[in-house]
Amino acid sequence: MAKAGIDEERVTGVPPSMAPVDDELTPMLTQYVELCTAHEDALVLFQVGDFYEAFCEAAEAVARICEVTLTQREDSTGEYPMAGIPIDNAASYLEALLNAGYRVAIADQVEDAEEATGLVDRAVTQVITPGTIVDDELLESATANYVAAVAGETTADGGPDGRSADLVGLAAVDVSTGECLVTDGDRETIAEELQRIAPAELLGSPDGPEFPPDTVGADWEENEYDPAAFELDRASERLGEYVAAPERRFSRVQRRAAGAVLAYAEYTQGDDGPLEYVSRIRRYDTRDHLRLDSAALRSLELFENRNSGDGTTLFDSLDRTVSALGRRRLERWLRRPLLDRDRIEARHEAVAELADRPIVREEIRDHLAAAYDLERLVGRISRGRADARDLRSLHATLEIVPELRAALSDDGGSDAERESDPLEALRDRLDPLSDVRELIDEAIATDPPTEITEGGIVCEGFDERLDDLRATERDGRAWVADLEASERERTGIDSLKVGHNQVHGYYIEVTDPNLDRVPDDYRRRQTLKNAERFYTPELKRREDEILGAAERADTLEYELFTGVRSQVAAEADRIQALASAIAELDALASLSTVAVEREYVRPSVRSDGEIEIEGGRHPVVERTQSEFVPNDATLPRGSIAVITGPNMSGKSTYMRQIALCVVLAQSGSFVPAQRARLPVVDRVFTRVGASDDIAGGESTFMREMAELTEVLHDATPDSLVLLDEVGRGTATTDGQAIARAAVEFVHEELEATTLFATHYHDLTTLADEYERVFNLHFTATREDGDVTFLHRVARGPSSSSYGVEVAEMAGVPEPVVRRAREFLEAVDRTERSPAGADEGSSDSTVDDDGDTDPRDGTGQEGDVPAGRHGVLSALREVDLARTTPMEALLTLQELQERLDDE
């Protein structure tokens, strides 16, 4: 792959015939070509006044992608194409270029065009890439925007069990906030981490390993970057600019990844030194967090909706944060649920306290809503890119801190002493930063302009020199303002006017009839149709004074402003710490708001590994379903629940709600249930069988087996495994074989707590064969031939009758379904004789509702074919020409079961 994801044709602005620079080009084009050569992996946009221009081939690309006009520019050397985008709303154009796979180098004018002698100097001030955008307009505030790098290494002796012992380092930087994360792990762990971090851009080391997005089910731009940046020595040296003695804290692969990603971040920011705002490099251990493999992330729909469209994700439905800081924090919590019981319980405790104090909570959320995105602000401040408004935004955010502290001190009137108060600890971390606040207040005007070179930024009274200059300017203007009256008096010309225009400055205007009364000291400035304009030496002197003072004031303001900005930047660490505390408070308040509004319960964390949920609900489905049926779950450690029931009866929802309760609890949230006692789970695995794919044949079978073993390999007794219709994509016999093999493997080898949904009724016999396997089932009732799902789980295997619904869903021809149903009703009636209730079922309504009047719908009781005769006649009715293999199998299964039941 070419650099910057740009293939060979997508060249930069330099047409081959133009490089190397030849002296026939105009100075401006020469400058452009030089910049293009220095940034050959990017498309260079060149500031010309209010536009970013591209020339030659780059112009063609810009015109095509941004849908702007391609013009021809003509100069002494000939004609060449040119295309420009307006700087004022460059954001959407830049986005289009990024989406088209370009890196964009912005070459700004770095000297004042008016002061420049000859060509204005230009320099690349930033290179914009998908992972390193800092422009707010291009950034989604909800999520962090990472650029990541990976570097791998294979240990010579190989792994213990013959599996490869690749170690992969991963480093990610959020350039907009300065957050930098470093970790390492085996290939699979890092693939999961990449899923979780979801970088916008991924840099791979030249020696691999590769993580193509489609293999991990993610979406990022793969980029190559200077291979030398990944070399251990170089990378360590780079990292050494940020932390002392990196080799003591970071593994080799970590150093290589971190060094490379930092080099890249520096490059894109147009800086040649270390990035000041990357103040902390956080190394973390993937084993500190509940691991969710990529299939789990997707199938539990934590952040991504699989049935794209209306659906919401868990994060969407849980996010009641009011600030961008809080939103990102909540996302991080959900992406990295905790494993440490104390930390989990501390979050629960804080959520509980906020839940108990609704007024305090609302007050806090009201204040938090006024918080600006401190992490990004401090990033801009440290990068020297913040304007005066940014400092005011910081000020506005600092103003809420005392309010937050006050709200948190309010114990809601109760004087009960709490044993440990996580909120109190949080309050202590809310540093009001009064020094910074006062500085901004004294220095920066309340509603400053965005432009930082044109004055109007610094407050009166902040700097004496500035005040003097402003006084001079004011006095001068006051003198001019009085001039009209005094000159009228002096000259006796009543129509005399004093005015100002851009070109000529101040003037005294006298109409032609009065010209004979003009005094000697008037000098002609401009002749109009019916009047003359004059100035006097005194007016000229005053004018120069005003202009001089104004100009010097602007320059001084700029200096003062950048001074204040650096002073604030020096406090970046404290601001970041405050940002972190605010983020945490917002995330906690969001969790407790959800907990209260949706009647979630505080889970208790237990150590015997058993999952016990009473009245559990699916946090997302319950919000779209008018009447969600809560269900219980009791899963001792290492048990395997085989869940049977027809399609659409609620199996998948049930399994997922259990997994989601676990994830929520370990993220610090309350859970949607009446009561919950949950263990600390180390990993959640999910496997969802391929959707019905009759043509899939063996390849599907092989794939499912392969995926299954891969997924299950790392499960431990503390893991939670969800297998949903595994084996479904294959022929019935293969599917059952896979399913059996999986259950056996989980039971004998892994001892992980497992939920296994299947529509293969035969698998219910596994409970007889394996000690820790038990059956659960979902049922449906039939009324007037319509199927109604109860969505209620019950112990024991399902009655075998659901096969008809399965057949119907699978599209078995109408006549067969009808016959089967007639026949089933006959059987039902026989079974319903006194002691016929479903064994082990606590769910009598199933059978009651199923007991519809036999005379309904399907003809006379006496006509219902029974026993072998019924099977034969059903068989005769099958229209073989219109039956698929799958349907035939289901029909056969159905008929066999009938015979077995006799």
Q: How far is the CB of 688 from ligand ADP (least distance, A)?
A: 10
* 57-65, 148-156, 648-656, 695-703 -> range binding Mg ion (CB under 5 A): 648-656
- 275 versus 780: smaller Cβ distance to ligand ADP: 780
Q: Which does 841 bind (CB under 5 to 8 A by kind): Mg ion, ligand ADP, none?
A: none
Determine which helix (DSSP H) or strand (DSSP E) holds 532, and give its type and residue range.
strand 531-535
Which range in 87-95, 157-165, 238-246, 647-655 contacts ligand ADP by CB under 6 A?
A: 647-655
For ligand ADP, the closer of residues 344 and 721 by Cβ is 721
- Best CA proximity match to 92, nearest among 67, 113, 73, 112: 67
Query: How far apart are the C-alpha atoms of 469 and 476, rounded to whole Å?
Result: 11
Q: Are strands 675-678 and 604-605 parallel, antiparallel or unpaired?
A: parallel
Q: Which of 649, 730, 779, 891 binds ligand ADP (CB under 6 A)?
A: 649
Minimum Å distance from CB 724 to Mg ion? 6
How many CA atoms are closer than 13 Å to the CA of 829, on its beta-carbon side? 14
Out of Mg ion, ligand ADP, none, what residue 644 binds, judged by CB under 5 to 8 A for its kind, is none
Q: What angle do CA 449, 454, 460 make, to 5 degrees?
A: 75
669: contact with ligand ADP by CB under 6 A = no
Size of the site for ligand ADP (CB under 6 A): 14
Contacts of 270 (CB under 8 A, 6+ apart): 106, 123, 124, 125, 126, 127
Query: Among 16-24, 143-151, 647-655, 841-849, which window interacts with Mg ion (CB under 5 A)?
Result: 647-655
Cis? peptide before 636, omega within 30° of 0 = no
* Identity of the residue, 645 or 796, whose beta carbon is nearer to ligand ADP in the bound complex: 645
Residue 346 to residue 343: CA distance in whole angstroms: 5
**Residue 758 sits in the site that holds Mg ion (CB under 5 A):** no
Using the rule CB under 6 A, give the single segment among 114-122, 229-237, 640-648, 729-737 that binds ligand ADP.
640-648
Find, among 63, 55, 60, 58, the residue nearest to 30 by Cα: 55
* φ, ψ dihedrals at 302, nearest 5°: -70, -45
Of 385, 381, 407, 405, residue with least CA distance to 394: 381
Cα(842)–Cα(358) distance, integer angstroms: 39
Our CB check for Mg ion shows the closer of 533 and 651 to be: 651
With CB cut-offs between 5 and 8 Å by kind, which of ligand ADP, Mg ion, none does residue 142 bind? none
Of the candidate spans 117-125, 563-571, 627-635, 763-771, the one that interacts with ligand ADP by CB under 6 A turns out to be 627-635
Indicate the pairing of strand 104-109 with strand 43-48: parallel
* Cβ 319 to ligand ADP shortest distance, Å: 22
Question: Nearest distance from residue 730's CB to ligand ADP, in Å?
Answer: 18
Q: How far apart are CA 586 and CA 369, in angstroms?
A: 9
Confirm if 258 and 239 have CB atoms less than 8 A apart: yes
DSSP letter, residue 124: E
Among 459, 629, 690, 886, binds ligand ADP (CB under 6 A): 629
Residue span binding ligand ADP (CB under 6 A) among the ranges 152-160, 265-273, 621-629, 875-883 = 621-629
Q: Tell whether residue 649 is a contact of Mg ion (CB under 5 A).
A: no
Shortest reach from residue 652's CB to Mg ion, in Å? 3
User: Is residue 652 at the binding interface for Mg ion, with CB under 5 A as the rule?
Assistant: yes
Could you say which of ligand ADP, Mg ion, none residue 558 binds, taking C-beta under 5 to 8 angstroms by partner kind?
none
Structure tokens at 8: 């060979």
Q: Looking at this protein, which amino acid is placed at residue 443?
A: A
If you write DSSP's letter for every residue of 254-278 in order, what string do you get?
HHHHHHHHHHHHHHHTT-SS--TT-
Nearest distance, CB of residue 895 and Mg ion, angstroms: 25
Beta-carbon contacts of residue 632 (< 8 Å; ≥ 6 apart): 613, 614, 615, 616, 793
Choose among ligand ADP, Mg ion, none what residue 647 binds, the Cβ cut-off being 5 to 8 Å by kind. ligand ADP
Which contiguous run of DSSP H or E holds residue 755?
A: strand 753-758
Interacting residues with ligand ADP between 787 and 806 (CB under 6 A): 791
**Contact of residue 254 among ligand ADP, Mg ion, none (CB under 5-8 Å per partner type):** none
Asked if 651 interacts with ligand ADP (CB under 6 A), we say: yes
In the set 479, 628, 745, 770, which binds ligand ADP (CB under 6 A)? 628
Give the residues lining the site for ligand ADP (CB under 6 A).
621, 625, 628-629, 631, 645, 647-653, 791
Give the residues lining the site for Mg ion (CB under 5 A).
652
